[in-house]
Amino acid sequence: MSHSLLFPNKYKIAGWCLLIPATIFGIILTATNFDGFSLNIKVFALFNNDIGGKSQFFSIIYTDVTNTIIGILFIVGSLLVGFSKEKKEDEFIANLRLSSLLWAVFVNYGLLLVAFAFIYGTSFLNIMVYNMFTVMIIFIIRFNYMLYRSFKSAPDEK
């Protein structure tokens, strides 16, 4: 993975500051069945299709944007955490990053195959919504675990 495509290292802290609260609020929203709190405002919509209503293009709608805000914060935070350079970015780190990303995609699609085969109805729709976030979650967890493991097993440099 080209080093020029990565964010500077200082963005990793900002990413964690966005990702952790977004994850906590996302879990709270899921646990409360999306009734924990709401922020209803007018927003511009490229496309809106209310159930039982008509489809609208390029309109102003009044809706709850809580999920939208938390989703955006999660995506931005996870991208900053996952794709910010390490303090010492070398070929080993780049290889570890690439293999972790590949591994995350394989695991994500494996889970998606299981969902396609065994989960039906509105539960499947929920799985598809969460599936948008799982690649980055798996990637961040695996990359940081492998990084930790490699530094822990490396001999101390004096």
pLDDT digit string, tens, across residues 20-29: 999 999 988 8
- Residues 109-158 pLDDT 10s: 999 999 999 999 989 988 998 899 999 999 999 999 999 998 888 776 54
Is 89:143 a contact under the CB 8 Å cutoff? no
E strand or H helix that includes residue 41: strand 40-49
The reported pTM is: 0.86
**Where exactly are the structural domains of the chain?**
1-86, 90-158
